[in-house]
Amino acid sequence: MSSDHRIGRGAHIIVVGNEKGGSGKTTVAMHLAVGLLRMGFKVACIDLDHRQQSLARYLANRRAWVTRTRVPLPVPDVRVLTPSAAESRSEAQAEERALFERTLAELTPASDFVLIDSPGSDVPLARHAHTHADTLITPINDSLLDLDLLGRLDPVSWELKAAGIYASLVWELRQDRRRAHRSGIDWVVTRSRLSALADRNKQTMSDALEKMRKVLGFRLAEGFGERVIYRYLFLWGLTVLDLSQSGIDIEMTKSHRAARAEVMSLLANLWLPRVSERLDRL
């Protein structure tokens, strides 16, 4: 399990990363940030996707809703890192890494957690951010296309033939982190947008991920189901943890309660410092 040695001496760094778009990274990042804030932790966020800025826009909607309704919702600080204007690629990458390092140095002393939302592509800055991760969360959809990023499967035996491109990248970056920080990365893969129905594809994914887990060195945690509520709340900047004080007229349904339970389960299974003792605050 992750130790709590960083709390009080610098933030625990959480990176939400996956090279494929549409896997639910921003939804996970937003709900984790709000959940940690509601447990009384100090949280800061960095949005590395300077083009879409999904997490930054989500939080901008939240700040606007707080201003409009005066509902006292917790809002984390968020920074968006702008790309370098340098002409040479090497110079641009160096400037962007330096900006990331300065930003992280500014945020960590006053934070318990810094949560970094990565773009859905392989970019140098996202790679660099991964080497700072104490915890890496990789949401994947329940599809064989998403699974291929983790490992290449034999279509007959379903045995793992080779690591996928993202798993290979994480292996390399884990080595970089050990050299730079002398500590490892707790890598957690979550299954996103799960159907409530049992089917052959769902079981195939479960079996394949269990085999991959043992070889590729990640932990498995249940992610968020395929629920409309996760997508619906974006315009208000809300999460399912906010529904009881959201300021909007929304009935708390069985599905909403299940979504809330999913978020709490993920927070419990990430093994983050001091989180288990504060879950009852949500």
Q: What is the dihedral of CA 156, 160, 165, 169, to 10 degrees?
A: 180
Mean pLDDT, residues 196-205 taken together: 68
Instruction: Report the distance separating Cα 64 and Cα 132, nearest Å.
Output: 31
Reported confidence tier of residue 281, pLDDT bands at 50, 70, 90: very high
pLDDT at residue 169, as a whole number: 94
Q: Is the pLDDT of residue 259 over 50?
A: yes
* Average pLDDT of the chain, as a whole number: 90
pLDDT at residue 246, as a whole number: 87
Q: Is residue 160 part of a domain?
A: yes
Structural domain harbouring 29: 12-281
Q: Is residue 56 part of a domain?
A: yes
Alpha carbon 243 to chain centroid distance? 21
Alpha carbon 204 to chain centroid distance? 24
Return the minimum-mean-pLDDT range out of 153-167, 185-199, 267-281.
185-199
Q: Is residue 52 part of a domain?
A: yes
Q: Is residue 215 part of a domain?
A: yes
E strand residue ranges, the chain:
12-16, 43-47, 77-80, 113-117, 135-141, 151-153, 160-163, 186-192, 219-222
Mean pLDDT, residues 224-229 taken together: 89
pLDDT digit string, tens, across residues 16-58: 999 877 778 999 999 999 999 999 999 999 999 988 999 999 9
pLDDT at residue 29, as a whole number: 97
Q: Is the pLDDT of residue 6 over 60?
A: no
pLDDT digit string, tens, across residues 71-101: 999 999 999 998 899 989 999 999 999 999 9
pLDDT at residue 16, as a whole number: 97
Give the 3-state secondary structure of residue 39.
Answer: coil
Reported confidence tier of residue 4, pLDDT bands at 50, 70, 90: very low
pLDDT at residue 10, as a whole number: 81
Q: Is the pLDDT of residue 196 over 60?
A: no
Give me the residue label for tokens 């660099």. 128
Q: Angle at Cα 89 formed by Cα 85 and Cα 93, nearest 5°?
A: 75
Q: Is residue 7 part of a domain?
A: no
Instruction: State how many domains the chain has.
Output: 1
pLDDT at residue 8, as a whole number: 39
Whichever domain contains 190, its CATH number is 3.40.50.300
Q: Is residue 6 part of a domain?
A: no
pLDDT at residue 201, as a whole number: 67
Reported confidence tier of residue 5, pLDDT bands at 50, 70, 90: very low
Two tokens, residue 42: 């100090």
Reported confidence tier of residue 254, pLDDT bands at 50, 70, 90: very high
Residue 193's nearest CA partner among 115, 236, 131, 140 is: 140
pLDDT at residue 180, as a whole number: 81
Mean pLDDT, residues 2-8 taken together: 40
Q: Is residue 39 part of a domain?
A: yes
Contact residues for 86 (Cβ-Cβ < 8 A; gap 6+): 92, 95
